């Protein structure tokens, strides 16, 4: 059944539109984290109409804008009811038409401020497909929303045609992975590779990830290994009326017991924990593919006084590395960590290469730093890989 724009407008005016809330949970701890507002049309006889039967019609005119703003106000009212209770951020769907709306961020600010709510509680969802053809405006639109303190999520990622090239330039906070990318049990090797790459891509761009439409334990298990942040789907909860959502928020806070994080570990999050211990001693860790002359660097704090790219060409890194070094140590450093030298030492059977140099600190004082390269073997290729650990030595 499809409704006409007039019928939908009448429903809006008669306050027959309302929002349901679908909770989102932390992928590892299963704690409630946030929710998405999803519009519903409740007929006077109690029938609940899905947005699929009226949103597409509303999208044909500016009616959709009125609906979205109406939903936003309902969300503010829900959050206001939680004034004395735990509040969780709520994301709201905005049609692509809002990209053309002048002063969108100002209007959102005015509305949210009317209810005296922190802006961090509101997340703006815009679907991936809305961005196609809007490349010019979308960046400014998103920046203005984020500058106002709201977060922005890209919805339905992977469902459309938008290119990774474009998404990488979008300064969004959250990437919502479309349910069409998840099969029932996530067993297919190629599907897993695609999903792993998407999560890796998002995290390296510092975006949080939400997996949508999660229905099975198998899907959840796999998503945990990808270090997915939040889960939304029938496995945990269906969209529910406001009243039920408010009760859920109360209960969830009440049962928040300390959980044993080690029992929830995914391989990816275990590595993150391990890194914290490694960083205690080695504030700089570099992964190098000596065969291909590339590196990837993880630094705990600004390790040297000169900043350095986190990925790039290894030969250039070595040149760069000498710039904040004591002049007397430069030659030894450049020879020892010369890529050809390292490869030669590796082929002679060396396990590790070590050198102490003096590095200039922010305070103008030279301190001893020990650099150790460990040769490691990847099961995926024959390339010569080295892991570099840099350690500050105590002053004498």
**Binding footprint of ligand C2E on the chain (CB under 6 A):** 22, 38-39, 50-52, 55, 64, 67-68, 71, 93, 95, 155-156, 212-215, 232-234, 239
The least CB distance from residue 154 to ligand C2E, in Å, is 11
User: C-beta of 159: minimal distance to ligand C2E in Å?
Assistant: 9
Q: Residue 309 to residues 95, 170, 200, 294, 316: CA-CA distances in angstroms?
A: 38, 21, 19, 12, 10
Which of 68, 123, 128, 156 binds Ca ion (CB under 5 A)? It is 156
**223 CB contacts (<8 Å, ≥6 apart)?**
27, 186, 195, 211, 214, 231
Which of the choices ligand C2E, Ca ion, none does residue 158 contact, using the CB cut-off of 5 to 8 A by kind? none
123 binds Ca ion (CB under 5 A): no
Q: Which is nearer to ligand C2E, 95 or 371 (CB)?
A: 95
Q: How far is the CB of 319 from Ca ion (least distance, A)?
A: 47
Least separation in angstroms between residue 15's CB and ligand C2E is 15
Q: Which is nearer to Ca ion, 212 or 373 (CB)?
A: 212
Please report how close the Cβ of residue 16 comes to ligand C2E at its closest, in angstroms: 14
Binding range to Ca ion, per CB under 5 A, among 114-122, 135-143, 209-217, 367-375: 209-217
Q: How many angstroms from the chain centroid is the CA of residue 60?
A: 32
Please say which residue, 231 or 390, places its beta carbon nearer to ligand C2E: 231
Q: CB-wise, 48 or 251, nearer to ligand C2E?
A: 48
Which of the stretches 55-63, 90-98, 214-222, 315-323 binds Ca ion when contact is defined by CB under 5 A?
A: 90-98
| Binding region for Ca ion (CB under 5 A) out of 111-119, 147-155, 227-235, 319-327 | 147-155
Q: At closest approach, how far in Å is the CB of 95 from ligand C2E?
A: 4
Residue partners of 258: CB distance under 8 A and separation at least 6? none
273 sits in the region (left: phi over 0; alpha: psi -120 to 50; else beta) called alpha
| CB of residue 174 to ligand C2E, shortest distance in Å | 13
Contact status, residue 19 vs residue 41, Cβ threshold 8 Å: no
Shortest distance, position 233 Cβ to ligand C2E, whole Å = 3
Q: Whose Cβ is closer to ligand C2E: residue 131's or residue 214's?
A: 214
Among residues 30 and 269, whose Cβ is nearest to ligand C2E?
A: 30
CA distance 246 to 87: 9
Distance CA 312, CA 292 (A): 11
**Partner interacting with residue 55 (select from Ca ion, ligand C2E, none; CB below 5-8 Å by kind):** ligand C2E
Q: Does 128 bind Ca ion (CB under 5 A)?
A: no
CB of 52 to ligand C2E, least distance (A): 6
Q: Give the contacts of 159 (CB within 8 A, at least 6 positions apart).
A: 127, 128, 129, 178, 180, 181
- Cβ-based neighbours of 326, under 8 Å, separated by 6 or more: 357, 358, 359, 360, 366
Structure tokens at 275: 């890194």
Among 63, 67, 76, 125, binds Ca ion (CB under 5 A): 125
Kindly indicate which of the ranges 3-11, 152-160, 229-237, 297-305 contains the residues binding Ca ion, using the contact rule CB under 5 A: 152-160
Q: CA–CA separation, 231 vs 214, rounded Å?
A: 7
35-62 in b/e form (b: 16+ CB < 10 A) is bbbbbbbbeeeeeebebeebbebbeeee
Task: Look at residue 373 and give the partner it binds from Ca ion, ligand C2E, none, a contact being a CB closer than 5 to 8 Å depending on partner kind.
Answer: none
Asked if 235 and 219 touch (Cβ cutoff 8 Å), the reply is yes
3-state secondary structure of 316: helix
* Of residues 43, 1, 45, 37, the one with CA closest to residue 20: 37
* 93 touching Ca ion, by CB under 5 A: yes
User: What's 178's DSSP letter?
Assistant: P
Tell me which of 68, 123, 128, 155 binds Ca ion, using CB under 5 A. 155
Name the residue nearer to Ca ion (CB basis): 159 or 392. Answer: 159
Q: In angstroms, give the least distance from the CB of 169 to ligand C2E.
A: 23
As a whole number of angstroms, the distance between CA 71 and CA 17 comes to: 8
Toward ligand C2E, which CB reaches closer, 93 or 388?
A: 93
* Sheet strands (E) in the chain: 17-26, 32-42, 48-49, 90-93, 122-127, 151-157, 174-177, 208-212, 230-232, 240-241, 284-289, 294-299, 311-313, 352-360, 366-376, 385-392
């Amino acid at each position: 059944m499809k409704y006409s724009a007039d019928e939908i407008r009448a429903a809006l005016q008669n306050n027959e539109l309302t929002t349901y809330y679908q909770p989102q949970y932390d992928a590892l701890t299963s704690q409630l984290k946030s929710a998405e507002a999803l519009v519903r049309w409740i007929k006077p006889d109690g029938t609940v109409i899905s947005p699929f039967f009226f949103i597409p019609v509303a999208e044909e005119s500016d009616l959709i804008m009125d609906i979205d703003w109406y939903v936003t106000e309902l969300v503010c009212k829900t959050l206001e009811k939680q004034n004395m209770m735990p509040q969780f951020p709520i994301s709201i769907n905005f049609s692509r038409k809002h990209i053309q709306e002048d002063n969108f961020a100002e209007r959102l600010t005015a509305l949210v401020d009317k209810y005296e709510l922190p802006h961090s509680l509101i997340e703006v969802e815009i679907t991936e497909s809305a961005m196609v053809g809007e490349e010019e405006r979308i960046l400014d639109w998103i920046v203005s929303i984020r500058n106002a303190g709201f977060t922005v999520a890209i919805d339905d990622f992977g469902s459309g045609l938008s290119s990774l090239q474009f998404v990488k330039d979008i300064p969004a906070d959250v990437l919502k992975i479309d349910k069409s990318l998840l099969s029932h049990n996530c067993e297919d090797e190629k599907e897993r590779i695609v999903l792993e790459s998407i999560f890796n891509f998002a995290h390296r761009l510092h975006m949080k990830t939400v997996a949508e439409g999660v229905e099975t334990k198998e899907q959840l298990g796999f998503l945990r290994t990808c270090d997915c942040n939040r889960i939304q789907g029938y496995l945990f909860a269906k969209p529910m009326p406001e009243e039920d959502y408010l009760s859920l928020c109360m209960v969830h806070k009440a049962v928040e017991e300390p959980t044993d994080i080690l029992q929830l570990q995914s391989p990816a999050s275990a590595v993150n924990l391990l890194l914290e211990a490694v960083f205690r001693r080695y504030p700089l860790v570099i992964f190098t593919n000596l065969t291909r002359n590339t590196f990837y660097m993880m630094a705990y704090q600004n390790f040297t006084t000169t900043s350095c790219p986190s990925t790039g060409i290894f030969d250039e890194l070595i040149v760069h590395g000498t710039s904040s070094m004591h002049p007397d140590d430069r030659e030894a450093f450049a020879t020892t960590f010369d890529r050809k030298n390292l490869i030669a030492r590796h082929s002679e059977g060396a396990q590790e290469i070590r050198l102490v140099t003096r590095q200039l600190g922010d305070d103008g004082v030279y301190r001893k730093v020990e650099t150790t390269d460990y040769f490691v073997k990847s099961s995926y290729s024959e390339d010569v890989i080295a892991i570099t650990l840099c350690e500050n030595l105590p002053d004498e």
